[in-house]
A and B are shown apart, each in its own frame.
Chain A
Amino acid sequence: MSRMSRAVNGAKGGAPEGGGLLPNIRSLSLSSPSKHPATDPSSEVCPVCKSGTYLNRNMRFLVNPECYHKMCEGCVDRIFSHGPAPCPIAGCNRTLRKAKFRSPTFEDLKMEREVDIRKEVASVFNKKQADFETLRDFNDYLETVEEVTWNLILDMDVEETRERLRKYREAQKAQNSSTTRRALDHSQASDKRKGATQRKALDVSSGNTPEPFATNREDTGFSFRGLIKRKTPEPPKSFDPFDGWSIQPQYHILQDKYDVGWMTAAGKDANHSAGGYSMPAFYSQVLCDAFSGFGVFVEDEIKARETQASMDAGVGTRNAAMAAQGTKDVNMDDVF
Chain B
Amino acid sequence: MKFFIDELPVLFPYPRVYPEQYAYMCDLKRTLDAGGHCVLEMPSGTGKTVSLLSLIVAYQQFHPEKRKLIYCSRTMSEIEKALAELKALMQYRTEQLGYEEDFRGLGLTSRKNLCLHPSVKREKSGSVVDSRCRSLTAGFVKEKKERGEDVDVCVYHDNLDLLEPHNLIPPGVWTLDGMLKYGEQNKQCPYFTARRMMPYCNVIIYSYHYLLDPKIAERVSKELSKDCIVVFDEAHNIDNVCIESLSIDLNEDSLRRATHGANNLDRKITEMKATDAEKLQNEYAKLVEGLREADEARDENAFMANPALPDDLLKEAVPGNIRRAEHFVAFLKRFIEYLKTRMKVLHVISETPPSFLSHLRELTFIEKKPLRFCAERLTSLVRTLELSNIEDYQPLQEVATFATLVATYETGFLLILEPFESATATVPNPVMHFTCLDAAIAIKPVFERFSSVIVTSGTMSPLDMYPRMLNFSTVVQESFTMTLTRKTFLPMIVDRGSDQNQITSQFEHRNDPQVVRNFGNLLIEFCKLTPDGVVVFFPSYLYMESIISMWQGMNVLDEVWKWKLILVETPDAQETSLALETYRTACNNGRGAVLLCVARGKVSEGIDFDHHYGRTVLCMGVPYQYTESRILKARLEFLRETYRIKETDFLSFDAMRHAAQCLGRVIRGKDDYGIMVLADKRFGKKITQLPKWIQMGLDQKSQKLSVDQAVSQAKAFLREMSVPWSRHEQEGHSSWNLEELEAHQQKKKLEAITGTENPVARRMEGRADAMEIAEEDEFGGHGMDDVMADLDD
Q: Which of A61-69, A84-92, A312-320 touches B?
A: A312-320
Q: Of A111, A115, A143, A324, which one neighbours B414 at CB under 8 angstroms?
A: A324
B63 within 8 A of A: no
Cβ contact within 8 Å between B637 and A319: yes
Name the CB-closest residue of A to B649.
Answer: A335
Interchain nearest-CB distance for A31 vs B (Å): 12
Cβ contact within 8 Å between A320 and B635: yes
B756 within 8 A of A: no
Given contacts A316-B411, A323-B636, 5 further A-B contacts (CB under 8 A): A108-B337, A136-B317, A142-B319, A313-B638, A324-B630
Complex CA–CA separation, A23 to B644 (angstroms)? 59
Specify the main secondary structure of chain A where it touches its partner.
helix
Cβ contact within 8 Å between B411 and A324: no
Which chain A residues border B280 with CB–CB below 8 Å? none
Which chain B residues border A142 with CB–CB below 8 Å? 319-321
Which chain A residues border B640 with CB–CB below 8 Å? 316
Q: Of B321, B324, B634, which one neighbours A323 at CB under 8 angstroms?
A: B634
A288 within 8 A of B: no
Cβ contact within 8 Å between B637 and A335: no
Q: What are 14 A-B contacts defined by CB distance under 8 Å?
A: A114-B330, A136-B317, A139-B323, A146-B320, A150-B326, A305-B780, A309-B643, A313-B412, A315-B641, A320-B634, A321-B351, A323-B633, A326-B633, A332-B647
Name the CB-closest residue of A to B289.
Answer: A136
Which chain A residues border B643 with CB–CB below 8 Å? 309
B220 within 8 A of A: no
Cβ contact within 8 Å between B635 and A118: no
Interchain nearest-CB distance for B500 vs A (Å): 20
1/0 per residue, CB under 8 A from B, across A296-336: the answer is 00000010011001101111111111111110101110111
Complex CA–CA separation, A36 to B413 (angstroms)? 29
1/0 per residue, CB under 8 A from A, across B345-383: the answer is 000111110000000000111000000000000000000
Cβ contact within 8 Å between A325 and B427: no
B195 within 8 A of A: no
Q: Of B340, B350, B426, which one neighbours A325 at CB under 8 angstroms?
A: B350
Name the CB-closest residue of A to B413.
Answer: A317
A255 within 8 A of B: no
Name the CB-closest residue of A to B346.
Answer: A35
Instruction: Give residues of chain B (405-432) contacting chain A, Cβ–Cβ below 8 Å.
Output: 410-414, 416, 426-428
Complex CA–CA separation, A145 to B322 (angstroms)? 11
Which chain A residues border B641 with CB–CB below 8 Å? 312, 315-316, 319-320
- Which of B316, B323, B633, B780 gathers the greatest number of chain A CB atoms within 10 Å? B633
Interchain nearest-CB distance for A311 vs B (Å): 9
- How many interface residues does A have (CB within 8 Å)? 53
Cβ contact within 8 Å between A105 and B363: yes
Complex CA–CA separation, A131 to B330 (angstroms)? 26
Complex CA–CA separation, A332 to B330 (angstroms)? 45
Which chain A residues border B686 with CB–CB below 8 Å? 336
Cβ contact within 8 Å between A38 and B427: yes
Interface pairs A-B: 3 shortest CB-CB: A142-B320, A316-B641, A139-B320
B333 within 8 A of A: yes
A122 within 8 A of B: yes
Complex CA–CA separation, A139 to B287 (angstroms)? 11
Which chain A residues border B337 with CB–CB below 8 Å? 106-108, 111
A140 within 8 A of B: yes
Cβ contact within 8 Å between A316 and B637: yes
Cβ contact within 8 Å between A331 and B437: no
Cβ contact within 8 Å between A321 and B350: yes
Complex CA–CA separation, A320 to B638 (angstroms)? 5
Cβ contact within 8 Å between A317 and B324: no
B341 within 8 A of A: yes
Which chain B residues border A324 with CB–CB below 8 Å? 348, 350, 414, 416, 630-631, 633-634, 637
Instruction: Give residues of chain B (540-575) contacting chain A, Cβ–Cβ below 8 Å.
Output: none
Name the CB-closest residue of B to A137.
Answer: B320
Q: A36-B344, A108-B337, A336-B686 are in contact. Are A320 and B414 (CB under 8 A)?
A: yes
Cβ contact within 8 Å between A316 and B642: yes
Which chain A residues border B323 with CB–CB below 8 Å? 139, 143
Which chain B residues border A334 with CB–CB below 8 Å? 506-507, 682
Which chain A residues border B196 with CB–CB below 8 Å? none
Cβ contact within 8 Å between B416 and A139: no
- How many interface residues does B have (CB within 8 Å)? 64
Cβ contact within 8 Å between B319 and A139: yes
Cβ contact within 8 Å between A328 and B637: yes
Q: Of A106, A111, A314, A332, which one neighbours B636 at CB under 8 angstroms?
A: A332
Complex CA–CA separation, A38 to B351 (angstroms)? 27
Cβ contact within 8 Å between A145 and B365: no
Instruction: Give residues of chain B (421-465) contacting chain A, Cβ–Cβ below 8 Å.
Output: 426-428, 437-438
B288 within 8 A of A: yes
Which chain B residues border A144 with CB–CB below 8 Å? 320
Interchain nearest-CB distance for A128 vs B (Å): 10
Cβ contact within 8 Å between B635 and A35: no
Which chain B residues border A138 with CB–CB below 8 Å? 320
Q: A35-B344, A317-B411 are in contact. Are A336 and B682 (CB under 8 A)?
A: yes
Q: Of B327, B341, B437, B685, which one neighbours A316 at CB under 8 angstroms?
A: B437
Which chain B residues border A35 with CB–CB below 8 Å? 344
Interchain nearest-CB distance for A35 vs B (Å): 5
Interchain nearest-CB distance for B417 vs A (Å): 10
Which chain B residues border A325 with CB–CB below 8 Å? 348-350, 630
A135 within 8 A of B: yes
Instruction: Give residues of chain B (246-263) contacting chain A, Cβ–Cβ below 8 Å.
Output: none
Cβ contact within 8 Å between A107 and B651: no
Cβ contact within 8 Å between A317 and B352: yes
A119 within 8 A of B: yes
Instruction: Give residues of chain B (680-722) contacting chain A, Cβ–Cβ below 8 Å.
Output: 682, 685-686
Interchain nearest-CB distance for A251 vs B (Å): 25
Cβ contact within 8 Å between B428 and A38: yes
Complex CA–CA separation, A317 to B318 (angstroms)? 29
Name the CB-closest residue of B to A306.
Answer: B780
Cβ contact within 8 Å between B651 and A332: yes
Which chain A residues border B351 with CB–CB below 8 Å? 321
Name the CB-closest residue of B to A325.
Answer: B350
Q: Of B352, B365, B507, which one neighbours A115 at CB under 8 angstroms?
A: B365
Name the CB-closest residue of A to B429.
Answer: A39
Cβ contact within 8 Å between B506 and A320: no
Cβ contact within 8 Å between A335 and B648: yes
Interchain nearest-CB distance for A103 vs B (Å): 12
B582 within 8 A of A: no
1/0 per residue, CB under 8 A from A, across B274-311: the answer is 00000000000000100000000000000000000000
B584 within 8 A of A: no
Name the CB-closest residue of B to A333.
Answer: B648
Cβ contact within 8 Å between A145 and B334: no
Which chain A residues border B327 with CB–CB below 8 Å? 143, 146, 150
Name the CB-closest residue of B to A146.
Answer: B321
Name the CB-closest residue of A to B252.
Answer: A39
Which chain B residues border A326 with CB–CB below 8 Å? 348, 630, 633
A101 within 8 A of B: no
Q: A106-B337, A139-B288, A313-B411 are in contact. Are A323 and B344 (CB under 8 A)?
A: no
1/0 per residue, CB under 8 A from A, across B651-678: the answer is 1100000000000000000000000000
A168 within 8 A of B: no
Complex CA–CA separation, A107 to B416 (angstroms)? 21
Cβ contact within 8 Å between B324 and A143: yes
1/0 per residue, CB under 8 A from A, across B592-634: the answer is 0000000000000000000000000000000000010011011
Name the CB-closest residue of A to B655.
Answer: A335
Cβ contact within 8 Å between A316 and B638: yes
Cβ contact within 8 Å between B365 and A118: yes
Q: Of A114, A313, A319, A328, which one neighbours B334 at CB under 8 angstroms?
A: A114
Cβ contact within 8 Å between A309 and B320: no
Cβ contact within 8 Å between A135 and B316: yes
Complex CA–CA separation, A167 to B367 (angstroms)? 26
Which chain A residues border B437 with CB–CB below 8 Å? 316-317, 320
Name the CB-closest residue of A to B323.
Answer: A143
Interchain nearest-CB distance for A225 vs B (Å): 12
Cβ contact within 8 Å between A115 and B363: yes
Which chain A residues border B330 with CB–CB below 8 Å? 114, 150
